[in-house]
């Protein structure tokens, strides 16, 4: 039974920051902006910010939160620390690192593709995937190759099937509509789209998804999961990503 409490915080147009709480610690993932995070904190004091990558719509709240809570640790990748592109970063992680926080062990996955420094934070059956893996989708390749991105997605989807995946943007409905138009008839994807549309009509988030759900319905990895080691896997991923770029 997980002792973590996770709360999505809608930010900007379609970003999610997350509040991660244990009885004695509180972290914020990807604070896009400070005001909604401070409101969600409701007087609690965070002790760490976990950054999945350096893009402005994920780091935008760091400076104001650090000014308000001077003890804050700011976590991010070694790549982004070296490039000095996450404000106030205090800790730098590489693939396979483990950090202790609030009585939990946090496993760090380096998942390049969207950016060179992209990280996924994994703990206690939960993973924060930033802009690497979205509900039914994946991030654009700003700094990485298709090979890198596909390997990163497959590393996330090698986590236990029940793992909750908390992603950086509310793109699920658009991703699943794309999957059906691009990939054709697929009952599980159609059902997931219905469920996602119902959530959004009630103004509820579609985050988190699960590893099992992504393995079943994420169009970007569908072929690679069947034959992970062939050139077809890369070709199929690349074609889907290019088609989504202009969808």
**Binding of Zn ion at residue 131 (CB under 5 A)?**
yes
Cis, bond preceding 208 (omega within 30 deg of 0): yes
Among 38, 40, 41, 55, binds Fe ion (CB under 5 A): 55
Which DSSP state fits 159?
A: S
Binding to Zn ion, residues 134-193 (CB under 5 A): 168
**Binding of Zn ion at residue 73 (CB under 5 A)?**
no
What is the total count of residues that contact Fe ion (CB under 5 A)? 2
Please state, in angstroms and rounded to a whole number, the distance separating the CA atoms of residues 92 and 223: 34
Binding to Fe ion, residues 167-226 (CB under 5 A): none
The two structure tokens encoding residue 140: 């654009």
**174 — phi, psi (to 5°)?**
-60, -40
Please state, in angstroms and rounded to a whole number, the distance separating the CA atoms of residues 219 and 66: 39
The sheet carrying 25-29 orders its strands as 5-11, 15-22, 25-29, 48-50, 73-77, 91-93
Check if 55 is active-site: yes
Nearer to Zn ion, 54 or 104 (CB): 54
What is the total count of residues that contact Zn ion (CB under 5 A)? 3
Among candidate residues 55, 104, 126, 164, the one labeled active-site is 55
Binding to Fe ion, residues 127-156 (CB under 5 A): 131
Binding site for Fe ion (CB under 5 A): 55, 131
Active site residues: 53, 55, 57-58, 114, 131, 169
Binding site for Zn ion (CB under 5 A): 57, 131, 168
């Amino acid at each position: 039974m997980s002792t973590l409490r996770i709360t999505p915080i809608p930010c900007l147009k379609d970003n999610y920051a997350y509040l991660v709480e244990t009885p004695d610690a509180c972290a914020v993932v990807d604070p896009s902006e400070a005001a909604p995070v401070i409101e969600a904190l409701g007087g609690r004091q965070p002790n760490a910010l976990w950054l999945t990558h350096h893009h402005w719509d994920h780091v935008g709240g760091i400076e104001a939160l650090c000014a308000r809570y001077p003890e804050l640790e700011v976590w991010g990748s070694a790549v982004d620390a070296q490039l000095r592109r996450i404000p106030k970063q205090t800790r730098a992680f590489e693939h396979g690192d483990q950090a202790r926080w609030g009585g939990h062990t946090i496993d760090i996955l380096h998942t390049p593709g969207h950016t060179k420094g992209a990280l996924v934070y994994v703990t206690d059956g939960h993973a924060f995937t930033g802009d690497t893996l979205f509900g039914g989708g994946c991030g654009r390749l700003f700094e990485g190759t298709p090979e890198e991105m596909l390997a990163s997605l497959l590393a996330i989807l090698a986590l236990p099937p029940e793992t909750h995946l908390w992603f950086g943007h509310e793109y699920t409905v658009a991703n699943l509509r794309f999957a059906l138009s691009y990939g054709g008839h697929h009952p599980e994807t159609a059902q997931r789209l219905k469920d996602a549309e119902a959530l959004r009509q009630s103004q509820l988030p579609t985050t988190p998804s699960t590893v099992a759900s992504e393995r079943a319905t994420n169009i970007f990895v569908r072929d690679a999961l069947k034959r992970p080691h062939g050139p077809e896997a890369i070709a199929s991923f690349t074609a889907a990503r290019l088609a989504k770029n202009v969808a």
